[in-house]
Amino acid sequence: MKGEGASPKVCARLTDVTRVYPSRDGHGEVHALGPLSFDLHAGEFFSVVGPSGCGKSTLLDVLAGLALPSAGTVEFEGKPVAGAVPDGVGVVFQEDASFPWLTVEDNVAFGLRRSGVDAAETRRRVEFAIGFMGLRDFRHAYPSQLSGGMRQRVCIARTLVLQPRLILLDEPFGALDQQTRLLMGDELLRLWRETSATVLLITHALDEANLLSDRIGVMSARPGRFIDIVETGWPRDRDSRLAERADFGAVTSRLWSLLREESMRAMGQRSAA
Amino acid sequence: MKKATWIRTVILVGAVGALELACDTGAVPAAMVIAPSAMVLALIKTVQSDDFGSNVERTLSAVAVAMSLSIVGGFAAGFVLHAIPALRRAFNPFLAAYYAIPHFAFYPLLIVIFGLGQLPLIVLATLFAMVAMIVATMSGLDRVPRVLLRTARVHHLSLADEIWHIRLPAAAPHLLSGLKLAVSYSFIGVIGGEFIMSTGGIGHEIAFAYDNFDNARMYALILFVLLVVTSFNMAVYAWERRLMRRRSA
């Protein structure tokens, strides 16, 4: 299952990226990430799994331009990512990032209005995203009137209207219950298929990574590096029923066998900290 | 009508009724308090007096200036202190102890500096109200969720857009609390100052009536102040409720 692609088009490239930052107590440094190199192929669904605190979110921040690497280079579509989120990159965070003072419709239209897209085009894209994410009946509702899952849909819709070519998701379903997670996973797959965007998902749920991904990067305990990249080989047209397949469990088991030792190391790091 | 509104109405009507009864029966002498109905009649008479309009204008204009200065200045100062942690750490002890200082004791000094007239009153009320707005602004900005600021970066917002479209609305509940306090403190600062040393304004008129044993005029003016301050605060409260309703359905 491990292997290199033939010569797929590269969407984003990390070369020898490390991220070191000062520790919270002001004494010394935390080596959070790397050195790490990998190519994100255009149009693929790539997940990153790893023990808690291994630098998964740091990897996403560096890739999104939300944090600068301490060393190494990051490129998106061949251009360097230099401390700013490049055009064409959308990010969905784990925490609720919906704006409580705006209706669902205004939340979704937020980015378009700020970037000066004309009103007719904004309306068209918002209409599509709201329909796509099943929010039509809630368009005039405020986030406080919605469940956690619905609010996360609002955030995904707000990213979707910007028509990103790379969507970065930082544990977007982390706060949701298992059933909602599965359904949201199906919707994410549908979004990925229909938009042809490249998706990078940070998750700690091995089943979720297995179900959704073409490739899964398995990270070591801090400082995070890829100890393996697992290719699932699942068809592009898939949904949560994939979990019923006999070979589904084998991939999850492989992920766990790679991760078990790293997770124990990470627990040791946390108790020592 | 909601249960709370009923309880409030019953308490208010009961208290006013009890005072009316106590005054009418002579249980409370008129030299101490006049009956509420007499206060209303005296207020009607006072409102018609020649100097009433100019006194009201004098007081309310000073309140309006102090309120605007304390809200705008308090927000600006709160924003700067929030943005520069070292400065904030330096100022924190002063802010914490600020309301332990008896501000009115400095009124004579303000008169020496700014002369007689409206200016020392405005300065006193602004100093009294501004720190409530500074503290509320810092508290509101502290609580803007980090994820919303990250979202601003994802949407390539400029600093001005981030402040206007993210930080301000996210901090709004705290800013409104500060605004309500600034409104109240501006009234207290101006009317309290007029009471002590001014040569005009509603506060001065109350003190003047008190010194001359003119109970009817004194209670009429106190009733007027109560009505104005309550109406103003209720308007701000209603506005706040309308803004906040959507956030906590």
- Last residue of some domain: A163, A192, A217? A163
Q: How confident is the model at residue A271 (pLDDT cuts 50, 70, 90)?
A: low
Select the residue of B154, B161, B166 nearest A85 (Cβ to Cβ): B154
On whether residue A5 sits in a domain, the answer given is no
A195: left (phi over 0), alpha (psi -120 to 50) or beta: alpha
| A3 falls within a domain | no
A224 in any annotated domain: yes
Report the pLDDT value the prediction gives residue B127, as an integer from 0 to 100.
92
Grade residue A8 by pLDDT with cuts at 50, 70 and 90: confident
Tell me the DSSP string of A181-223: HHHHHHHHHHHHHHH--EEEEE-S-HHHHHHH-SEEEEEPSSS
Q: Are residues A189 and A153 in the same domain?
A: no
Q: Which amino acid is at A13?
A: R
Inter-chain touch A111–B161, beta carbons under 8 Å: no
Beta bridge partners of A22: A29
| Shared domain check, A120 and A81 | no
Q: What order do you get walking across the sheet with A79-80 strand by strand?
A: A29-41, A10-22, A71-76, A79-80
Q: Check residue A200 and give its pLDDT.
A: 97
> What dihedral do alpha carbons B141, B147, B148, B151 form, nearest 10°?
140
pLDDT digits (tens, 9 = 90+) for A21-60: 888 777 788 888 979 999 999 999 999 999 988 889 999 9
More confident: A106 or A7: A106
> Cβ contact (<8 Å) for B155 and A110?
yes
Put simply, the answer to whether A114 touches B157 (Cβ < 8 Å) is yes
- The answer on A256 and A125 residing in a single domain is no
Nearest CA in chain A to B160: A114
A5: pLDDT confidence band, cut at 50, 70 and 90? very low
> Is the same domain home to A243 and A267?
yes
Q: What is the mean pLDDT of chain A?
A: 89
pLDDT digits (tens, 9 = 90+) for A54-93: 889 999 999 999 999 999 999 999 999 988 899 999 999 9
Would you call B150 an interface residue with chain A, using a CB distance cutoff of 8 Å?
yes
Mutating which of A76, A93, A158 best tests the B interface, going by the most B Cβ atoms within 10 A?
A93
- A134-A139-A144-A149 Cα dihedral, nearest 10 degrees: 10
CA dihedral over A239, A240, A243, A248, signed as positive or negative? positive
β-strands A166-170, A89-92 pairing: parallel
Give ipTM to 2 decimals.
0.87
**A93·B153 Cβ contact <8 A:** no
Q: Is the pLDDT of residue A4 over 50?
A: no
Residues 6+ apart with CB under 8 A from B88: B81, B82, B138
Residues of A in contact with B248 (CB under 8 A): 144
Domain co-membership, A15 together with A144: no
Q: How many residues in total does chain B contain?
A: 249
Distance between CA atoms of A208 and A189, rounded to whole angstroms? 11
> Do both A246 and A124 map to the same domain?
no
Same domain, A62 and A131: no
Gap between the Cα atoms of A191 and A197, Å rounded? 8
B144 touches B171 (CB < 8 A): yes
> Residue A120 pLDDT > 90, yes or no?
yes
Residue A100 to chain B, least CA–CA distance (Å): 6
Residue-range definition of the domain harbouring residue A138: 94-163
- The total number of structural domains in chain A stands at 2
In the predicted structure, residue A269 carries a pLDDT above the cut 70: no
Provide the pLDDT confidence category of residue A1 given band limits of 50, 70 and 90: very low
- Token code pair at residue A10: 């590269």
pLDDT of residue A179: 82
Of A90, A110, A144, the CB nearest to B248: A144
Q: What is the per-residue pLDDT for B82?
A: 95
With CA atoms as reference, report the closest residue to A219 among A69, A56, A73, A60: A56
pLDDT of A6 above 70: no
Q: In this model, does residue A143 exceed pLDDT 70?
A: yes
Q: In chain B, which residues have pLDDT < 50?
A: none
Q: Which domains does chain B have, with CATH numbers?
A: 39-248 (1.10.3720.10)
pLDDT digits (tens, 9 = 90+) for A187-241: 899 989 988 899 999 998 999 999 999 999 999 988 899 999 999 999 999 988 8
Looking at residue A2, its pLDDT comes to 42
Q: Which chain B residues have a beta carbon less than 8 Å from that of A164?
A: none
| pLDDT number for residue A272 | 61
The answer to whether the Cβ–Cβ distance between A99 and B248 falls below 8 Å is no
* DSSP 3-state of B134: helix
